[in-house]
Amino acid sequence: TVSHVEVSPDFHHARVYISRMGNAEEQENALAGFQRAAGFIRGRLGKRLKLRYVPKLEFVIDTGIAYGVRISSILNELVPQKQDDDPET
């Protein structure tokens, strides 16, 4: 998943953040795939965008989603879950 993109003010560079659930090896494989396809993706963008210059693409693994999932699981461990049959809930 492409989570977000940061484009330089002069549109010469774009940092594309990708997110993939899985272990570190799977994430690195996904990143390598995007890096191999960068020229193709840039060519397709050039055909669709009305820009004088198509940015050079740099792909980066976005750890924000995984970090959020980790924080959520920690919070779930700390806060006791409500029981359906508990009259106080």
Structural domain boundaries in the chain: 2-67
User: Sign (positive/negative) of CA torsion 63, 6, 49, 44?
Assistant: negative
Q: Alpha-carbon distance 34 to 5, whole Å? A: 14
Residues 6+ positions from 3 with CB-CB distance below 8 Å:
17, 18, 19, 62, 64, 65
Between residues 34 and 77, the one the model is more confident about: 34
The 10s digit of each residue's pLDDT in 18-68 is 988 778 888 899 999 999 999 999 999 999 988 888 999 999 998 777 777
pLDDT at 6: 95
Q: Alpha-carbon distance 85 to 56, whole Å? A: 57
pTM of the model: 0.71
Q: How distant, in Å, are the alpha carbons of 34, 65, 89 from that of 73? A: 29, 12, 21
Q: Domain 2-67 carries which CATH code? A: 3.30.300.20
